[in-house]
Structure 1
Amino acid sequence: MNFTVLVLIFLILGFIVGRSIGIDFGNMYEIMLYIQILLIGIDLGKSSGLRGVKKVGKFGLLLPLFTIIGSLIGGIIASIVLNIPIKYALAIASGMGWYSLCGPILAKYSAIYGVMGFLVNLAREVLTIIGYSFVIKKFPKDMAITLGGGTSMDSTLPIIVKFGGKDIMILSFVHGFILTLLIPFITPFILMLPI
């Protein structure tokens, strides 16, 4: 069975189970994320270690910059097309997939835009999981890492590596790591701008 179909089946199954039972998994998601990052670290250590991080070079620093610029351009376009105030459209776009951060930050300013920030960034993560394998058929696999934004170091990394290959694992991790460091500053900064 096609991997993308399996991902969709498990996503839908998880949604149905989540709606059907009232179990609170608490911080299980966070624990699983740490385990995933540990496994990624082990895999990185086995393959190329710190040499691999150095190997990404300038491109590894430029790719997050391209992601930020592209995301903000997307926010400007969304502002125009959807008639959303530019400040909120840019702040939503600046979440770059980090829905659990973007939504709450925006909610301090507006409940509606907080929900939008959460949903848009959740959609970015889900669409990366579902769509990365299709996008790399038309675009370079390393440039397609930008789809995942900050999630390219954790939740979308397994998908990126599965379809893009292990040779882009370090680039994807570095890309997501840099964005994860920057997003908590970019989003609040945009919301403070007098625009």
Structure 2
Amino acid sequence: MKGSLIIVGFFALGTVFGLSRVLPFDIAQTDVSFYALAALMFSVGVSVGSDPQTLKSFRSLNPRLVLLPVMTIAGTLTGSALISLLLTHRSLADCLAIGSGFGYYSLSSIFITEYRGAELGTIALLANISREILTLLAAPLLVRWFGNLAPISAGGATTMDTTLPVITRTAGQQFVVVSIFHGFIVDFSVPWLVTLFCSL
């Protein structure tokens, strides 16, 4: 949760800098966000490639649990599509793009800002941070009401990093591999799905 608050703090600081014109306006018109995105994608690749144990542990996974990330993706997109019916000022593609962040706010918000502008990118940032924070806070209730897989599905792409400790504590140590696998697959889908829906 500390990491989420730091990200929000930097976002707020950037907003203040932008409003007060402390930095030259030309910075916003350059490819800074593109290079930040490229660096972020590189760091994601390094983190996945540097931990071969994670990939090996996937082999011991129950085949039925392989469907969990698929159902998380399908459920999130279905919910986003239903929400678009209420948000008449937002298109279906916009809502699906935001939902496709699956809690991965740093990556998805940069993509959406690049394709659709800063306003929608900001909404994506806040929506995906909210998903992570709600998972962190509500994990015990999710386990009690819906079962051990509920906080994993709710956590989306964050289940292999920031929400993993609370999932382990509330769902049990036996769900660590499931949580990491789920986070890995959902995480991998983010750039593809966000790009797809932003292109529509």
Q: TM range, normalised to the smaller chain?
A: 0.7 to 0.9
Q: Do structure 1's residue 55 and structure 2's residue 66 form an aligned pair?
A: no
Unpaired segments ≥5 residues, structure 2: 14-39
Letter in structure 1 aligned against 2:185? I
The change in CA–CA distance for 1:142 and 1:55 in structure 2 (over 3 A counts) is farther
Q: Which residue number corresponds to residue 84 of structure 2?
A: 79
Instruction: Report how far residue 110 of structure 1 moved.
Output: 2.3
Distance 2:85 2:171 in 1: 34
Instruction: Report how far residue 179 of structure 1 moved.
Output: 1.1
Distance 2:177 2:167 in 1: 11
Instruction: Report how far residue 143 of structure 1 moved.
Output: 3.7
1:83-98 mapped onto 2 (5 Å cutoff): 83=88, 84-98=90-104
Q: Do structure 1's residue 114 and structure 2's residue 121 form an aligned pair?
A: yes
Q: Which residue number corresponds to residue 157 of structure 1?
A: 164
* Residue in structure 2 matching 1:167, options 153, 168, 174: 174
How high is the sequence identity, in percent, across the aligned residues? Answer: 30
Q: Do structure 1's residue 146 and structure 2's residue 153 form an aligned pair?
A: yes
SS of corresponding position for 1:95: coil
Distance 1:59 1:151 in 2: 21
Distance 1:123 1:143 in 2: 17
Distance 2:104 2:66 in 1: 19
With the length of structure 2 as denominator, give the TM-score of the two structures.
Answer: 0.71
Instruction: Report how far residue 57 of structure 1 moved.
Output: 2.9
Q: In 2, are the aligned partners of 1:153 and 1:174 still within 8 Å (CA)? A: yes
Equivalenced residue count is: 162
Letter in structure 1 aligned against 2:64? F
Instruction: Report how far residue 171 of structure 1 moved.
Output: 0.1
Instruction: Report how far residue 58 of structure 1 moved.
Output: 2.2
Distance 1:182 1:176 in 2: 10
Distance 1:160 1:190 in 2: 30
Distance 2:64 2:159 in 1: 15
Q: Which residue number corresponds to residue 65 of structure 1?
A: 70
Distance 2:197 2:180 in 1: 25
RMSD: 2.9
Letter in structure 2 aligned against 1:75? S
Instruction: Report how far residue 191 of structure 1 moved.
Output: 1.3
